Amino acid sequence: MSESSPHLVVRGVSKRYGPTTVLDHIDLTIRRGELVTLLGPSGCGKTTLLRAIAGLAQPDAGKVELAGRDITNVPPHKRNVGVVFQSYALFPHLTVAGNVAFGLKVRGTAKREIDTAVERALSLVKLGHLASRRISALSGGQQQRVALARAIAVEPDVLLFDEALSALDRKLREEMQVELRRLLQDVNATAIFVTHDQDEALTMSDRVAVMNKGRIEQLAEPRELYLRPASLFALNFVGLSTRIHGTVLAASDGKVDVETKVGRLSALGNFQAGSPVIVAARPEQLRLGEQGEANSAAGRVRSVVFQGSRTLVEVDAGAGESLLAELSGRDGAIPRVHDEIRLSWPVTETFAFPMEALG
Amino acid sequence: MTEAALPAPVTAPAVDRERLTAIGFVLPSFVIIAGVFALPLVLLLGVSVVDANGLTFAHYKRLLGTPYYLGVIWNSLRLGLLTTLIAFLISYPAAFALARARGALRAILLATLFLPLAASVIVKAFAWTILLRSDGIVNETLIALGVIEDPIRMIFTETALIVGAVNIFLPFMILPIYAIVAQLDPRYAEAASTLGASPVVTFFHVILPLTLPGIIAGVALVFSLSVSAYVVPTLLIGEKYPTLATTIAKAYLLAREPGFGAAAGVVLLGIAIAVVALSARLSREPK
């Protein structure tokens, strides 16, 4: 099978629990060897989608195909998926090696093959020395690795991670993100991560699916997701932004002029004149002072937050609007609180979103 | 050096005070256990091996050397084993049903389980005699329905004994298993299934081992209760099924043989302790 052919295909999958629509006609295609994150707030349906792929939740409509096989009605134990749960769900009555061997044992693999596979899986997660330990004698980070080794040992067609790193403390989590990504790339695994942590999504994935209310709002590479958010929700959920309310005055081929309370601004977007919109820009696009054709707005500095390599400056632009600028030391003087300043940013990095999408 | 002016930490007396407090808390229950339980046990053991002429093992020889009394021991064991086995087979699925039930249904099921505990064993055993006797509700109903023509002999049979014992001791099997099942993370079964285990394999390799502590607690409770049951065999089967418990009562109340009764008590206690100890050992050993 070639690298680019579809490996996991989710087609029109819907799921309702009582009156609540948890998944609303989800379409998702993942290539072999791809690492994809389902990112969204709790209740957006990301875990249900993962469970539908694993066979732990039966969709009301739609199809799931894995490695060229329709698995929509296949029970979980015949799907050949690997799941790493948030709570790890390691079997407390088995040792580390016993947990890793479990999937192979129930498949009836020969003893010698099991031993080899367990050894390899444990060395992959650097836990070979703890094979005979009991699960209760392991730290959270070690348990996470055992859960990963157990899922990898059966060589599943797809690995599914349900908030698998969220139980770890921040420093360990950040280390594991990098290590896990490298490890999964080494074994050429196809994996789906479910998380509400945008940093985790941006660090670990080839593509990120931003989910909201049972739908995928945007499926894009992390860089594109950040630079070209497709919706106000995606913009808000990933990274920081300046957002200003306004009304479209004039529109021409993908660009709009917007009347706002902080002045006239230009943005990318397709709207009819008179439409209420929200104009947005990423904070690192905002610079001190005027620049020729760029958008600009003035105001009084409300707060200055120093964060090492960058400084976040929040400006009260009046009329309830505020500007958020991320200034690096290279930009020269950092303003102080109460300073009156003017900020400008390029039109090509300014986006207009429909107002009604807010919320 | 300001630190030098500080008084040296006085940890030792503090620890002693803590220990004294702990002893103080434990003392009342210790006195009760020692005075009301351990002391009579020692006396019982003494009475069973001492008679007017000094040390003797005659009572034990009679118990373990007479076919009749071996039959009595077997009766007790059989009552304990059958009751425990049947109670387990009923309780295990019941505990899962109870753990799955929600809201009002769960409350009702728990109430039906707990309420009978408030009634005395004698009341419940009598209730069974009323149900099972020749002109009892079960026979009358079967005759009215035309299933049988003449009443079936149900009371004073081993079936009646086991049915009654299972009914009376059932909560002691369901509750400990339920306590474990209710805490069982459903993710364990899900993890097993995604690893390729069919529901049957998942049950035997994951669910059963993980609920073993509850099973063992229930088995230890029900076995020690049923092996030593006195009221239940007396009322539901009577003379023709002598057990260690009824033999002890007879030795003390009718035959005036306290030495023999004490020896029978020690044997009964030995059987119960052996089963409970074995259970505890099984629950500690990882598979």
Answer yes or no: is A203 within a domain.
yes
Question: Chain B contact for A93, CB < 8 A?
Answer: yes
A134 → chain B, closest CA residue: B286
- Tokens 């958008």 — which residue? A295
Q: CA-CA distance, A146 to A187, in Å (whole number)?
A: 16
A91 → chain B, closest CA residue: B188
Domain around B18 = 1-56
Whether B193 sits inside 8 A of A56 (CB atoms) is yes
Distance from CA of B123 to the nearest CA of A (A): 42
Q: Is the pLDDT of residue A233 over 50?
A: yes
* A14 and A129 together in one domain: yes
Domain count, chain A: 2
B208 → chain A, closest CA residue: A93
Contact A281, A345 (CB under 8 A): yes
DSSP class of residue A134 equals: B
* A25 and A159 together in one domain: yes
* B14 and B123 together in one domain: no
- Tokens 């049923």 — which residue? B226
* A179 and A272 together in one domain: no
Give the pLDDT of residue B279: 81
Which of A192, A219, A236 finishes a domain? A236
Give the pLDDT of residue A5: 76
* B5 and B63 together in one domain: no
Contact B248, B73 (CB under 8 A): no
* B134 and B258 together in one domain: yes
- Residue B119: its H or E element: none
* A184 and A255 together in one domain: no
B284 → chain A, closest CA residue: A93
* B226 and B152 together in one domain: yes
Burial B244-276 (b: 16+ CB within 10 A, else e): bbbbbebbbeeeeebbbbbbbbbbbbebbeebb
Whether A91 sits inside 8 A of B210 (CB atoms) is yes
* Best of B180, B184, B195, B211 to mutate (most A CBs within 10 Å, chain A): B195
* A182 and A260 together in one domain: no
Give the pLDDT of residue B285: 54
Question: Chain A contact for B285, CB < 8 A?
Answer: no
Answer yes or no: is A1 within a domain.
no
* A306 and A344 together in one domain: yes
Burial of B35 (0-12, 13-18, 19+ CB in 10 A): exposed
Give the pLDDT of residue B133: 87
- Within A187-231, residue ranges assigned H as helices are 198-204, 222-227
Question: Chain A contact for B286, CB < 8 A?
Answer: yes
Whether A56 sits inside 8 A of B194 (CB atoms) is yes
- Within B186-287, residue ranges assigned H as helices are 186-194, 199-202, 208-227, 231-236, 244-253, 258-284
Whether B194 sits inside 8 A of A107 (CB atoms) is no
Q: What is the distance of C-alpha B199 from the center of its chain?
A: 31
Distance from CA of B209 to the nearest CA of A (A): 7
Q: Which of A317, A346, A312, A303 is nearest to A240 (CA)?
A: A312
* Best of A85, A88, A90, A154 to mutate (most B CBs within 10 Å, chain B): A85
Question: Which residues of B, range 165-194, sit inside 8 Å of A by Cβ?
Answer: 185, 187-188, 190-194
CATH of the domain at B136: 1.10.3720.10
Which of A209, A236, A263 finishes a domain? A236
Strand-strand pairing, A81-84 and A158-162: parallel
Q: Which amino acid is at B178?
A: Y
Question: Chain B contact for A134, CB < 8 A?
Answer: yes
Contact B181, B96 (CB under 8 A): yes
* B181 and B199 together in one domain: yes
Whether B193 sits inside 8 A of A77 (CB atoms) is yes
Question: Chain B contact for A103, CB < 8 A?
Answer: yes
Q: What is the dihedral of CA A196, A201, A203, A204, to 10 degrees?
A: 110
DSSP class of residue B191 equals: H
Give the pLDDT of residue B11: 52
CATH of the domain at A89: 3.40.50.300
Question: Chain A contact for B93, CB < 8 A?
Answer: no
Distance from CA of A196 to the nearest CA of B (A): 20
Give the pLDDT of residue B93: 96
* B51 and B132 together in one domain: no
Answer yes or no: is A289 within a domain.
yes
Whether A83 sits inside 8 A of B188 (CB atoms) is no
Contact A296, A344 (CB under 8 A): yes
Question: Which residues of A, range 147-186, sit inside 8 Å of B by Cβ?
Answer: 150-151, 154
* B79 and B141 together in one domain: yes
* B143 and B90 together in one domain: yes
B287 → chain A, closest CA residue: A93
Whether B210 sits inside 8 A of A54 (CB atoms) is no
Domain around A321 = 240-357
CB pairs under 8 A between A and B: 75
Q: Which of A54, A77, A150 sits opposite B197 (nearest CB)?
A: A77
Q: Which amino acid is at A344?
A: S
Strand-strand pairing, A207-212 and A35-39: parallel
Q: Which residues of A touch B199 (CB under 8 A)?
A: 77
* A323 and A205 together in one domain: no
Tokens read off for A356:
């009604």
Question: Chain A contact for B204, CB < 8 A?
Answer: no
Question: Chain B contact for A58, CB < 8 A?
Answer: no
Question: Chain B contact for A106, CB < 8 A?
Answer: yes
The per-residue pLDDT for range B38-94, each reduced to its tens digit, is: 898 999 999 999 988 889 999 999 999 999 999 999 999 999 999 999 999 999 999
Give the pLDDT of residue A168: 85
Give the pLDDT of residue A285: 93
Please report, for residues A189, A241, B237, B240, B242, the alpha-carbon distance to residue B158 in angstroms, rounded to integers and kept in the order given. Answer: 63, 80, 7, 10, 11
* B173 and B203 together in one domain: yes
- Residue A23: its H or E element: strand A20-31
Q: Which residues of A touch B210 (CB under 8 A)?
A: 91-93
Phi, psi of A194 (to 5 degrees): -110, 125
Question: Chain B contact for A76, CB < 8 A?
Answer: yes
Domain count, chain B: 2
Question: Chain A contact for B17, CB < 8 A?
Answer: no
Distance from CA of B286 to the nearest CA of A (A): 6
The per-residue pLDDT for range A84-112, each reduced to its tens digit, is: 999 999 999 999 999 999 999 999 999 99
Question: Which residues of B, range 60-79, sit inside 8 Å of A by Cβ?
Answer: none
Model ipTM value = 0.86
Q: Which of A56, A106, A154 sits opposite B190 (nearest CB)?
A: A56
If chain B, 287 residues long, is cut into consecutive pieces of 10 residues, what is the mean pLDDT of each piece?
48 72 90 88 92 90 95 96 97 95 92 89 90 88 90 89 95 95 95 97 96 93 95 92 95 92 95 88 64
Tally of residues, chain B = 287
The per-residue pLDDT for range A122-177, each reduced to its tens digit, is: 999 999 999 999 999 999 999 999 999 999 999 999 999 999 888 888 888 888 89
Q: Which amino acid is at A167?
A: A
Question: Chain B contact for A243, CB < 8 A?
Answer: no
- Residue A288: its H or E element: strand A287-288
Which of B21, B39, B56 finishes a domain? B56
* A107 and A208 together in one domain: yes
* A157 and A218 together in one domain: yes
Q: CA-CA distance, B42 to A102, in Å (whole number)?
A: 50
Phi, psi of A354 (to 5 degrees): -65, 140
Give the pLDDT of residue A4: 61
Which of B13, B33, B56 finishes a domain? B56
Answer yes or no: is A262 within a domain.
yes
Which of B13, B36, B56 finishes a domain? B56
Taking every pair of Cα atoms in chain A, the longest distance, rounded to a whole number of angstroms, is 75
Q: How many CB atoms lie under 10 A from the CB of residue B172?
A: 21
Whether B209 sits inside 8 A of A56 (CB atoms) is no
Question: Chain A contact for B284, CB < 8 A?
Answer: no
* A219 and A253 together in one domain: no
* A145 and A186 together in one domain: yes
Q: Which residues of A touch B193 (CB under 8 A)?
A: 55-56, 75-77
* A169 and A21 together in one domain: yes
Residue with the larger pLDDT of the pair A254 and A64: A64
DSSP A57-107: S--SEEEEEETTEE-TTS-GGGS-EEEE-TT----TTSBHHHHHHHHHHHT
Which of A236, A252, A287 finishes a domain? A236
Q: CA-CA distance, B59 to B65, in Å (whole number)?
A: 10
